Structure 1
Amino acid sequence: MVTQGVLGITGYNLQMLTEALAAYNSFDADNDPHGERDFGDLKLWGTDLLWKIDYYDRDLKYGSDDPADPSRTARVLTVMTATEW
């Protein structure tokens, strides 16, 4: 999921964003204090971006009871501008 703020960035390019997310390896104590690797920050098109992964039940209504179980969990990746946080 990409927010309206990201879609409105001059120069926004989905392929570039996808490649940057796939290559992301800048986890540190600030953005990953628990070692879960479900949150990160990056800069593209001169804009500070944040991304996070949320773990929902399969109906996307509630948080998952067991995020580690893919049969009970739907993961949603959201990318937003830092100002939208």
Structure 2
Amino acid sequence: MAYYQCTACRDVEEIDDVIPESCPACGATSVIDLAVQAQQIAKANDAFREAMISGGHPVYQGRVVCTQGVAAKGPEFVTLAQLAVAGFSDFTEDTDPHGDHSMASVTICGETVWFKIDLYDESLCYGADDPLDDANTRRVLTLLFPSEY
């Protein structure tokens, strides 16, 4: 059983055994497998995170930001958080239900810090039209405390 989404009308269908040739709702022929898409996004998110401590990734563009609470802990704390996030790999079904490696937590100096990756368009104004279009998708990784969510 898999979930497929139409790129035209955004309808999501759960289908048991075959990849649909067209959208049952609108007839469009552009249908994506959401599990495959999540795996591809996870791969890109991982590469983006890992490269943030070395000046950024050449393909997966974006920025790293932190909330006022995290920033108030000082530059050493922020650096430790970035290093921990860059090296993080302990995703599970419980912590990563969508399978896209877009959110998790690390512990820095006894404090839980969340990281969250959001996907935007080139202008960082709207969500990414196609999260797999690397040329037009920008990632924003936010470091935050759970209390700031």
The sequence identity of aligned pairs, in percent, is 36
Superposition pairs for residues 1-80 of structure 1, below 5 Å? 1-9=65-73, 12-80=76-144
Q: How many angstroms does 1:24 deviate by? A: 0.4
Residues 39, 52 of structure 1: 8 Å contact kept: yes
- Structure 2: gaps (5+ residues): 1-64
| CA apart distance, 1:18 | 2.0
Structure 1, residues 53-82: CA drift from partner, whole Å, max 9, x if none? 100000010001001111111111001001
Shift of 1:11: 7.7
8 Å CA contact retained: 2:104, 2:114: yes
State the TM-score, normalized to the length of structure 2. Answer: 0.53
Q: Give the number of aligned pairs.
A: 85
Structure 1 unaligned segments of length 5 or more: list them. none
Amino acid at match of 1:37: H
The answer as to whether partners of 2:122 and 2:136 remain within 8 angstroms in 1 is yes
> Larger Cα Rg: Structure 1 or Structure 2?
2
CA distance in 2, matches of 1:2, 1:74: 16
Please state which structure has a larger fraction of its residues in helix: 2
Give 1:14 shift: 3.2
**Structure 2 SS opposite 1:16:** helix
Distance 1:5 1:12, change over 3 A: farther
Relative to structure 2, which stretch is displaced further, 71-80 or 2-11? 2-11
- Which protein has greater RCO, CA pairs closer than 8 Å, 6+ apart? 1
- Structure 1 segments of 4+ aligned residues over 4 angstroms from their partners: none
